[in-house]
Each structure stands twice: as C-alpha cells, then as structure tokens.
Amino acid sequence: GPFRIDVVTIFPEYLAPLRQSLLGKAIERGLVSVGVHDLRQWTDDVHRTVDDAPYGGGPGMVMKPEPWGQALDAVRPPGTRLVVPTPAGRPFTHAMAVEWAAEPGLVFACGRYEGIDQRVADWAAEAGPVSEVSIGDYVLAGGESAVLVMTEAVTRLIPGVLGNRESAEFDSHADGLLEGPSYTRPVTWRGHEVPPVLLSGNHAAIERWRRAESLRRTATRRPDLLAALPEDALTDADRAV
C-alpha cells in the first residue's frame, strides 16, 4: 500500500502544502497517503482546551497529555514511528530520512507553546519507535513547518516518487558530501563563464572535476561532514584535492 503519513496539529490548514507539488503528485499516483487531524477533536470541554500551565512554574503553557493520548490511540497503528519535532531533539538527517522512508508510514505530533507534556512521548514509546527530532539549531513557533520539511525529505526517497531525471542518488548528503555547483545555458552570462571542463565532452575529466568540487565545497562549508566520513570513503586522489 501507499506510504502513510498522519499529522496531528491544532493548525490543520498549515499542512495544506502537503498536497502540493511533488508530494501532491505522489498522493495522486497512490504512492503516499496523508491524513491531517485537528487535535482539538480529542478534547472534551467546551473551550476545547489543549494547554495548561507548567508544573514547577515558569513562562508559557504546555500541551496537555489527555488529548494527545486519545489522538494517538485513534491515528497511530501499533508499531508505527511517532515523530515529535522539538528544538531539544536529535538533529534530523538524511540517514534518518532513508531509514524512515523504508517504514510503512509515520505519525507526526506538532507541538505549540512550550511543547507537549513529556509523558506523551514516554508513553508512546511503549507502542513503537518514537523520534524526538530537531530540524536545526533555532526555535520555531510550532512543529508544523518542521513536519513539512521532514515529510518532503522522506517522501522524495520513496521509490517512484522521483523520476529518473531527478534521481536522489547524486544529491548532497547521499554520499556524505555536499554536491558541487551546477550550470546550464548560456555559456556566458553577465560576464560569468561556465567552467570549461563541463563543455569538454570528456566524461572522465567531468567526473573528476565534480568530485573535486564536491570535496572542496564540503571542506569549506561543512568540515564536520568530512570529519565524519568513514576511513575508506576517500581515495588518494580525493585526499590530493
């Protein structure tokens, strides 16, 4: 069946872009199916309250556990990974996207305010994997935009979602390196030239140049990625760059 994505949020309209573009086409083609759920449908008071003051004091409000428990009872099949976006999570990476894309589906819990009562993630871990992840070292107002980021990164790795022309295997991070620069016509634009090797027709030379650009760019912009490569990932030619 299709890769199943369920999102629980207090701002369901925020997830409308899930049905656009690449992911929209994947849904139309039956490769992915998406459910967006309003957390407030699992409240039982007239005010449809989802937050309360933090135990121990301090500013802001915390999302109450009861609506989340009922929501996850309703939308999360046992064993399905629950993803909880939080700036206090482990960094979301390409490797996680690859792992998650191979699973049957994902459930996302979008926090707001100061986040969700910690017992929700702790309890949810009894029924399947739970990933508390951050999309970067900054603080957003809610998890919805993080869900858009992660679902896009995951679904483009599902077989059939990308065509051959836009294959993911050469993209940045697939081999642990950043991809080098790309060029298209014209050859000269506002005084800037396309690197001549790309016009040479010499495929071996082009491959060598691309590899060198990839290594140089990674060394300049993301030395942490170079340092994390396994011992055998770089050839002698690579090291000479």
Unique residue bearing structure tokens 């121990």: 56
Q: Residue type for 64, please?
A: K
Is 135 a binding residue for ligand SAM by CB under 6 A? The answer is yes
Among 140, 168, 225, 226, the residue binding ligand SAM under the rule CB under 6 A is: 140
* Residue with smaller CB distance to ligand SAM, 83 or 161: 83
Query: Sign (positive/negative) of CA torsion 175, 176, 181, 185?
Result: positive
Is 134 a binding residue for ligand SAM by CB under 6 A? The answer is yes
Length of the chain: 241
* Residue with smaller CB distance to ligand SAM, 26 or 153: 153
Is 54 a binding residue for ligand SAM by CB under 6 A? The answer is no
**How many Å is the Cα radius of gyration of the chain?**
22
* Residue with smaller CB distance to ligand SAM, 46 or 139: 139
Nearest to 62 by CA among 44, 80, 86: 86
Min dist CB 117 to ligand SAM, Å, is 11
Is 138 a binding residue for ligand SAM by CB under 6 A? The answer is yes
Is 228 a binding residue for ligand SAM by CB under 6 A? The answer is no
Strands 188-189 and 192-193, how do they pair?
Answer: antiparallel
* Residue with smaller CB distance to ligand SAM, 144 or 213: 144
Query: What CA–CA distance (Å, rounded) separates 124 from 127?
Result: 6
Min dist CB 108 to ligand SAM, Å, is 9
Residues in region 68-87 near ligand SAM by CB under 6 A: 85-87
Min dist CB 137 to ligand SAM, Å, is 7
Nearest to 112 by CA among 42, 33, 52, 189: 52
Q: State both tokens at 183.
A: 């060029």
Is 138 annotated for ligand binding?
Answer: yes
Task: Please indicate whether residue 213 is annotated as part of the active site.
Answer: no
Residues in region 96-115 near ligand SAM by CB under 6 A: 110-112, 114-115
**Greatest Cα pair distance in the chain:** 71
Task: Please indicate whether residue 73 is annotated as part of the active site.
Answer: no
Task: Please indicate whether residue 156 is annotated as part of the active site.
Answer: yes
Name the strand (E) or helix (H) holding 90. Answer: strand 81-91
Task: Please indicate whether residue 19 is annotated as part of the active site.
Answer: no
Strands 51-52 and 3-9, how do they pair?
Answer: unpaired
Query: Catalytic residue positions?
Result: 87, 114, 156, 171
Which residues are at the interface with ligand SAM (CB under 6 A)? 85-88, 110-112, 114-115, 134-136, 138-143, 146
